[in-house]
Structure 1
Amino acid sequence: MARKSRKQNTAQQASPAPACKVYRTALYARLSAEEYKRSAGTTIENQLCLLREYVKDKPYLQVEGEYLDDGVSGTRFDRPDFMRMVGDMRGGKIDCIIVKDLSRLGRNYLEAGDYLEKIFPFFGVRFIAVTDGYDSASPDVTEDGLIVPLKNLINDIYAKDLSRKISSAFYIRQKQGKFVGASAPYGYVKSPEDHSRLVVDEDVRDIVWHIFHWRADGESLTAIIRRLNDNGIPCPSRYKYLKGWVKKDRSQSGLWTVSTLSEVIRNPVYAGDMEQGINKTALYKGMGTRKMPAEERLYVKDTHEPIVEREIFDKVNEKGKRDAEKFHSGYGKFDALSKEPNLLKGILICGDCGKRMSLWRDRSGAKLNPPRVYYKYICQTYQHLKEKGCVRKRLDKKDVERAVEETLRMHIKLFLDSRQILERLNREQKSDGGFRKEIREAENRKKRAESMSASLYNDYADGLLNESDYLYAKEKYLKQTDEEAQKILELQETERRHRTGSRKEGRLEALVQEYRDFENLTEEVIHAFISEIFAYSDGRLEIRFRFEDEFKELLDVAEERGGGICRKEA
């Protein structure tokens, strides 16, 4: 009789589980874009069907959710649904994960090994790979453990080999002048007959042509942007979204910006040439995505129909180079002038458009030596797009920082005053042990009610109680048990809030003690207490502090215990 393979046997029959253990199970399926192209009939749904069939007759594997990463490489572990599943695992929502095979978990053998040998065991998670016959709860897991690292290594090698082959194929096609990008650049579409060939998008041909000619005639980038936005012409990302070519609208406003226009003007595709390999990724070399220098890119001339004349394209880009050289030549020209640090870098946000604001250094009195220098916080969106993008804001640096400093000092003072008042109340009331006594009494009453409820059935069985009296008494004791349990929770919460008044710990407490007497406003002090500052067109500043929950709890407890005196005194 032929020997039946252990792998086939395990794929059909799960390892025996303790009768009392029911696993909250996650079904995870993953399919990369390349696997879908290479294997006809391979779909994410096929994987799910296999997993559903596997758990169908196993009542101890209770499915809590299905997690799908379609079109995502297994070399990455920041996959959206994989990260969601890991979050549910950390939150205790699942304690079993089932995949079709080990390669679905990942093709990076080091990270896959970390999950199998460290992370899953740490969280007490059972892991099953159906077709590989692997089950971490199996009595033979030590035997399987010898082969799992090898399979992970093979998966890793497979992924790198596939990366090398794909990179080689792309390189050959790029050298031939064929387009290999996911979507065509603005002004072009992929030919329906040959997706590696670009044809002009007649709907926007004139727009691209005018952009280059306006620039060649001397118009600034900002002037061209205003012209396009004033005429309601959507930017490239919004245009693709409106056409239905992409599912996600990456442009919040749909407006042209300097960076978007600059990308169009610098792209030789509009002169009929193809420049590819600008960003390169090579997994097989262990190289992540990086931008390649111009000399290492692939440049092929006359690969498709141009939209603008080569003379106009060259003229525009030569002008761009001269403008850049002129700009860079000014570096260091005003180094002798005072330069103040941007204390609000990264946290000052325009409340109207949501973009981060910049510190603008300006000069006046050019004939003076040295000229006068002043600083303003400005909205870059308005600076480039004017009223089309946002509302004008030019906030004096000193005024903004003075307001921030005053608010910060008031915030610290209110915290310290509230703490001081609560400490005084603690000394006066001396009620530390009162809550614990009430909690013990409630716990005793709860235990008595539970004991009486448990003894009722014996009385009913012995004929001392009829059915009506038994049910009435049982409901009474159950209700009393619930009421006492609720009272215990309320007393514990009250005791915890009472301790807040005397507790000297927590992140905010430590920061206040460290910076309570700061002399000058610094970036360190600001970022320690403040997460965001929103500036609005009506002159309002909205400051959002870190650890607001800790601060609010202290004020609420002080208000509750002090009968309103805390806020008045503070």
Structure 2
Amino acid sequence: MKKQAEKGKITALYERLSHDDERAGESVSIENQKRILEDYARKNGFTNIRHFTDDGVRGTTFKRPGLDAMLDEIRAGNVATVIIKDQSRIGRDVVEVGLLKRTFDEYHVRFIAANDNLDTANGFDIMSIFRDVINEWYVADTSRKIKTVFKSRMEKGLRCSRSVCYGYLASKEDKHEWIIDEEAAAIVRRIFHSVLAGESIASISRAFRAEQIPIPSEHWKRIGAPVRAAKYADPYAWSVTTISSILKRPEYMGRKILGKTVCENYKTKSTRKTAPEEQYVFDGAIPAIVDEETWHTVQRLRETVRRAPKRKAAPNRLTGLLYCADCGAKLTHRYNLVQGKWIEDAFICSNYRKLTRDCSMHHIPTQKIEAAILAAIQRVSWYVQNNEAEFIERVREASDLRQEETVKECKQRLSKAQRRHKELDGLVKKLYEGNATGKIPDKHFTRLLTEYDEEQAGLEAAIGEWQEQLDTWNADRLNTDKFIELAKRYTDFTELTTPMLNEFIEKIIVHEGKGSGNDRRQRIDIYLNFIGAFEVPAHIVTPMEAEEQRRQQEEQAEKEAHSQGLAKSAGATEALKAADPMKWVGLMNACKAQAEEIIRYELIYV
């Protein structure tokens, strides 16, 4: 048996264990590898041994502390021999292992794999190449099997990860099932309701810091749950990123989504986010913390960028809801503040006087649009509460998709298209068989295959469109019930609150105004969540409208009485002037002196 060629150099014993290898048990443990290598070195006369170890590192990764330290010693000329248990310990990548072996040759290092009977001192071993290939194949095959297991679990709605998002805890009975963590869930609900109330994410984070509410990692630490981010300086430092990530989680409305990411490369373990059609979605599989309507409303609100104007703490709450009827652009809030008073508070088309796309102004004061919104919500809410059956009927009649004949025709078209799509699958199969047996020439095969593919593509598009129409029809029936439930939550209100605005209003289309002054008229189309544009029958007068009409009549009567009083006073003054001019002059002088005294007093007081 050959001994070390150079006295004093290191005999490097290298051990590696990955998390996947741990499933094999004691046979590949670090302790077992060390024992095997030490026994081999002692029996074969190798001395001056030193262990280089990588524990919990994959064989496809070649940036390892133990391996790097050994390579540094090799390049320094301090290593004579490298001994490993088997070739898989050095790595499971044919290219990278080949580069390592080249490094060993370059620095005249003897390489031994004890269990594989590989010793470079005995010359080239062709089997070592095959072993490297098999070792890499093992990783690829293991990755494929793991993916298959994960896919099978996700198809059944079973989680492959034990991580739990803030607001939930893993059940003690089943770690893959979630239960609500009431303390954290209250914070989650507060975040959603704060956004619904018009608060910015930055203001929410500031409030949480001021109240010293623990961040998720600190909360988990305090209750003894697994902590993801172990290192953090401030336990109350809520960041905008943390709150934004909470607002984006669909789990909070009870939706379980599996397969959000997929491993692209088993060597690098690089992952990518999956498309929605690749994911596994299970509605109602998790206890909901916020209702579905609140979640979707918050997502819609966050799509619009809202910037607070100068000298104001928050942006206008109507931002993102108003659209131009002519060009479709969003309306921009315009404001001017002079000496603490708003001289203009209105919305205009964002394309007004633009170089690239000009549009008319579409000017509408904020106060007037909010009054119109409040009146519309009051009117439709009262109508829903007092004429629910009639409301449901009118809503369902408002769309062609809700007509039974249209739905029936849509279902017939969908069924026919699905049958034809299935027939084409059979024809394509027969086409391939005919071409393979020589019955159909390549020329006809290519032409027919192209025609079938084009017809199938068209059918798939039509099937998707018709199915979407049917789903929309079914959803509309459900949405009517949701709007009724929303309207019943607001039974008596006299002012427009921000949560009410965000819950009721989907969008508002603003048309260009006509006329000027008191004669100016401007049309606005208000689209309500769940039901779209809906108008209460014109003959219906709600109690709020009746009260407003009574108030306006009283104001008009007061104005007329005041005008009549002024007219009588003016007539009496003219009569006095004509009857006794000297007395009339004295009366005027007395009134003037009294007015000057009042002005002088106000100036002194100020």
- Please report the TM-score for the alignment, with normalisation by the length of structure 1: 0.49
Q: Whose Rg is larger?
A: 2
Say which structure, 1 or 2, has more relative contact order (CA 8 Å, 6+ apart). 1
TM-score normalised by length of structure 2: 0.46
